[in-house]
Amino acid sequence: MLRKIARPMLASFFVWDGVDTLRNTDQHVEETENMLARLRKGLPREYASFVPNDPELVARGLAGARVGAGSLLALGKAPRTSAAVLAGTTLPALVGANAFWSADSEREKNDGRNALITNTALLGALFITAQDLEGKPSLGWRAKKAGERTSKKVQAALPTKSETQNLTGKATDWFEDTTDRVTSYVDDHKDDWQDTGKELLHTAKSYVDEARSYVDDNKDDWQKAGKGLIANVRDTAKDYGESARGFVNNNAGDWLDAAQDNAKTARKAVVKNASKAQDKADKALNKAEKSSGRSMKKWNKKAGKFQKEADKKIAKAIKKVGKNI
């Protein structure tokens, strides 16, 4: 209730001053110009250029801001923001328009001093209003309390010191108990394990001894059997070789004639090579029969050599084509 009365009382000064300035702007231009000049003089050079050069426009702007912000403050609409705007419009006047020490007469000095004190008091009231939360906590206070509540919840969720000690004690007891059980079990059964290992080792050793004895008893028989088997294989291979060689020697000519007469086998390369070799041997033998003396001996030697080559190629052809055509 008190705020609803105090706010319009504080705002009335600024609303009236703003309305008076808007209605009688010419009367406030000189005062505004002096304020702007003092501001330029007091500010650093790089900031003095930002001060406006039109005192009438500045006076109207400040007056409009006072009327608007004062009205909102009186109605209780955005009171903190309105108070801050009014403080912003009062601060330049406080700094630049109330230089009572430069007045010529004593009366002007007293008036300027009183205006400075009044503006200072109003500025303090505006600062208090701008910080007034109407009994509500500030954002900083809310953030602090929220942090405290969160910290309490986290601490409540975490185990306490006594609970931690209790869990640690239980874990220690469990490890000690388990260690004792394992140690006791090993002590009770280590002798059995040693005996079992010795039995297994003895059994494996007996198997090895039996295998060695069996090999020693039968190695001579195995050697004899192996030698006999090798001899049989050698004899069989020899018989097969002699049989094949005899077949080639006894039937080579007939087989080659049959192979040449067969249209299918006559085109094979091995048969052609065998035929050429046999023709070469036959020609050498014919020349040997027609010659005499050294010439006959020479051609007989060549005929024997060529016949051996022909026999090899015929045997190769028989092996690849087959005996039966």
Sequence-ordered alpha helix ranges (H) in the chain: 2-23, 25-42, 45-48, 55-75, 79-96, 106-131, 139-157, 161-261, 263-266, 269-290, 294-321
- Can you give the pTM of this predicted structure? 0.38
Among candidate residues 49, 43, 129, the one with its CA nearest the CA of residue 92: 43
Residues contacting residue 100 through CB under 8 Å, at least 6 positions apart:
108, 109, 110, 111, 112, 113, 115, 116
C-alpha to C-alpha distance for 296 and 52, rounded to whole angstroms: 144
Q: Is the pLDDT at 136 greater than 70, yes or no? A: no
pLDDT, tens digit, 9 for 90 and up, residues 12-23: 888 998 898 899
Q: Give the C-alpha distances (Å, rounded to integers) separating 238 from 205, 243, 244, 246, 300.
A: 47, 8, 10, 12, 30
Q: What value, to the nearest 5°, has the Cα angle with vertex 196 and ends 191 and 198?
A: 95
pLDDT, tens digit, 9 for 90 and up, residues 34-76: 788 877 887 888 888 788 888 889 888 988 998 999 899 889 8
- Could you tell me if 273 and 318 are in contact, meaning their C-beta atoms sit under 8 angstroms apart? no
Residues contacting residue 239 through CB under 8 Å, at least 6 positions apart:
none
Higher pLDDT, 97 or 268: 268
Banded model confidence at residue 247, pLDDT cuts 50, 70, 90: very low
Token pair belonging to 43: 């500010």
